[in-house]
Amino acid sequence: MNITFIGATHEVTGSNTLIECAGKNIMIDCGMQQGIDVFENIESPVPASQIDFVFLTHAHIDHSGHLPLLYKRGFRGSVFATAETVSLCDVMLRDSANIQMSEAEYENRKAARAGKEPAEPLYDLNDVAGLMPHFRPCRYGEMIQVCESVRVRFTDIGHLLGSACIELWLAENGVEKKIVFSGDVGNTNQPIINDPKTVEQTDYLVIESTYGDKLHDERQGHIQVLADYINRTLERGGNVIIPSFAVGRTQEILYFIREIKNSGLAAGHEDFPVYVDSPLANEATSVLLQCGMDCLDPETRAIMARGENPLVFQGLHTYVSVEESKQLNFDTTPKVIISANGMCTAGRIRHHLKYNLWRPESLILFVGYQSKGTLGRLLLEGAKSVRLFGDTIAVKAEIAMFPGISGHADKQGLLNWLSGFDEKPAQIFVNHGDDAVCSDFVRCLNEEHGYNAFAPYSGTVYDLAAGEFLKITKGVPVKKISSGRMAQRSVLERLIASAKRLLGICEQSEGRANKDLARFADQIDALCEKMSR
């Protein structure tokens, strides 16, 4: 009954943890790294083809984004998640695949001119299509007997539509232990979705620490703050550019702008246009409006009970086509543009930045966490110029962070959620936070609140049955390598992944005709002989 920490260890993105119990291999989240990887992450010690179950906390790409890659490498197990998370993953993973394919196409155009080997996307739409039938939608509060040795329950954690903390009961050799994965703990008093719900008991806890060293500003007056940002930008003839996460944050901003318009807070600019330039955001909004009412907070339910749409208002435009998106940059009417993605690492937002960063009258308003190494983080840290599409763009626009709107709980919010347990867990593992933040939150839990907390690095292994560490690793900083060596390593990693997939297929070949197995073995032997020459 071992737990191995793989991703989001002393880092914020790339969540991935493995549990081995009673012959079953269980993965909790399978996220994509966003921004710079600070520490080396181990590969999963178990091939993708041998993963039996994945339990997914929510649909954000840093938690779900490598699921299609897992499928590509041979995973054929079941992915358990809330019904809303399944619906959002269908939208978000297709979008992620399109980004992978688009970036590979762009790199290949450059590679062809330079005579280099072509690049392959991390995964494509076929991988997403193959993955989706493996999802198993679940309801909040439902106890699910996954197999003889594993039970699971999803509890609303208030971070995103469908987000959940995961309660796992594990049994092996007559020993049963419970472990809870917090996922991303939501902020309180957010519009649209519920506040996070607590859990009463657990033996072990894995908890995030994104804002484990900070306190958010109070939310009172935030609608007026947003109105002030919009009003002063429109007054000077500029555009308000909001890089926003397409799922969750965009819908929250629309909710706020509806309140601004309905309350008359945009004096003199009542009809200002708002453009949601993100096909993904528009699909996600449709998912939200069709979700179960138990996922929504009382205020939003009341609005919908009156027959009103909480996310629609006069002057709202949704754009889908690339051509329509481009035309926005040639329209001189002062406006609000909400576009993905939230950290400016890809997507249409980069085009809007190219046409607005150099304009002193415009405003770039960030509304969510910016990982190290992302364009959003560089802008917030005061970059004087940035490179976009091969051009150097001067940063003259106003750059601001909308205060207190984070979907993550702050330090006090995490402590409040922890206080919901009847008894302190025997061991707390802290992950999903920058290196210094993880360490500071561990110190706070141990020294100020009497918990037994530890922040594991990638590769750390703990025996849940015995209650002891089997392996404690140290953080290995990522070494910068040349683009040539990086490309070579990427191809090598692909080769190793393919070999693991082949091994998985071989191990699952029992029952096939002997002549087919013999022919398959001959083909493998011939290939090995050829490569060893």
Query: Which residues are registered as beta bridge partners of 170?
Result: 150, 177
CA distance linking residue 474 with residue 460, whole number of Å: 8
Cβ atoms 78, 136 nearer than 8 A = yes
pLDDT of residue 139: 95
Q: What is the per-residue pLDDT for 488?
A: 46
The SS3 assignment for 119 reads coil
d(C-alpha 295, C-alpha 69), whole Å: 29
Tokens of 321: 């086509």
**Amino acid symbol at 480:** K
**pLDDT score recorded for residue 289:** 82
Cβ atoms 185, 156 nearer than 8 A:
no
Strand duo 135-138 + 144-147: pairing: unpaired
Classified by CATH at the fold level, domain 222-401 comes out as Rossmann fold (3.40.50)
Query: pTM score, two decimals?
Result: 0.81
pLDDT, tens digit (0-9, with 9 covering 90-100), for 1-29: 999 999 999 999 999 999 999 999 999 99
Name which of 82, 60, 55, 85 is nearest 152 in CA terms: 55
CB 56 within 8 A of CB 154: no
Beta strands in 226-346 (DSSP E): 240-243, 274-277, 316-319, 336-339
- In Å, how far from its chain's centre is CA 278? 17
- How do strand 240-243 and strand 363-366 relate by DSSP bridges? parallel
> Which class is domain 2-215+407-471?
alpha beta
CA–CA gap between residue 495 and residue 516 (Å, rounded): 24
pLDDT in tens, the chain (533 residues): 999 999 999 999 999 999 999 999 999 999 999 877 789 999 999 999 999 999 999 999 999 999 999 999 999 999 999 999 999 999 999 989 988 898 888 778 877 777 777 888 999 999 999 999 999 999 999 999 999 999 999 999 999 999 999 999 999 999 999 999 999 999 988 889 999 999 999 999 999 999 999 988 765 578 899 999 999 999 999 999 999 887 888 899 999 999 999 999 988 888 899 999 988 888 888 888 888 888 899 999 999 889 888 999 999 998 778 888 889 989 999 999 999 888 888 888 999 999 999 999 999 999 887 877 889 999 999 999 999 988 999 999 999 998 767 789 999 999 999 999 999 999 999 999 999 999 999 999 999 999 999 999 999 999 999 999 999 999 999 886 444 444 444 455 556 656 766 776 676 677 778 887 888 888 887 787 766 65
Amino acid at 504: G
